A and B are shown apart, each in its own frame.
Chain A
Amino acid sequence: MTEARPGLSRRDLLRLGAVAGPAALAAACGWDGGPALEPKLRAFSRINDWVGEKILFSPSRMAKEYPLSARTPMQNFPSYSITYNDSGSFPSVPGPGTWTLNVSGLVRKPVRLTLKEIAALPRTTYTVKHHCVEGWTAIATWTGVPVSTIVAMVEPMPQARFLRFDSFDSGYYNGWDLASAMHPQTILAYAYNDRPLMMNHGAPLRLYSPIKLGYKMTKYLSAMSFTRDRPGGYWEDQGYPWLGGV
């Protein structure tokens, strides 16, 4: 071999390092972006929310329904609660027997609904796949009243653009875009697999929708309010994508 090999000159290696270095550094040590980059990451996430809401979301596209035989065995369907994580017991209804859903905010006719009144409204039931942000899925039947029914009842004002769902689970809450809330498969569910909603799944009433990730479906509902400004959310405020649409 008589030839010089110009392929790996020192200068070239330096150039390569200039490119590969930041990549390796970025990947190293489970870096979270640091306090300087983290707000920028969240700001960019809003662009993805916009694309998800305005371009990819269709108000008339239905999530696939499954046969009852596809249901995930109940013991395999995980359930989370902030209160449970903190104290080991699920949140219980404040003032049993007096629970109501308070619907208010930018509406003409605010109402307080009892579970009986909600259960008397026309119901929707479906067997759908649940998508968790962590990556797991599970299939179950949910029964409840479409959020759109409640919306029609309270007559939101034109300036209402978002819906805020509050729970009695340690301050858990979620903000929703109205289009997703008005989707026919977005319901206030009071039954899971044909039984009254159990404590671990958000009794007595929870938000459910197969077009959203699990963390958007507020459990242990206590109130919904129409707002002009975009409400955050328990996990959304900590960095989860706000839209959470699937």
Chain B
Amino acid sequence: MILRRKKLEATVPSMAMGDIAFLLLIFIVLLARARDDSHLVWQPATGSELVKPANKNASVVIDKMNITYLNGRPIQNENLSGQLSALLGNLPPGSRTVLFKVHKDVVAEHFEPAIESISEAGGELHHVLEPSTTTETP
């Protein structure tokens, strides 16, 4: 009697691939959200003749609870200048833009020291504002 050896088939379970891709995507999305500042709550002040920043190297946010964040992570004002200097490194002038996003009702006591720190670090300040809706009457 001849016994035939069973052929072993090595197949990739294609059904599981979709689930793996899905989980990977969720992981990447969560990672990206932890690094940016889109989760922070702030309302911009209004301004006119607004322009887009030429580049963006860092973002400083002061939210409605008066908490300062550097690239989405909370930071003490005393450490802001040092951390920004490290981030900006030796970038040439014109490429040292720091987006400054401050909630419209935050008071000078909180935002002026942050402006000073950005200036100390050699950052080029770019206030993020929203266009004012009022039109000037002649």
Q: Are A and B a genuine interacting pair, yes or no? A: no
Chain B interface residues (CB < 8 Å from chain A)? none
Chain A interface residues (CB < 8 Å from chain B)? none
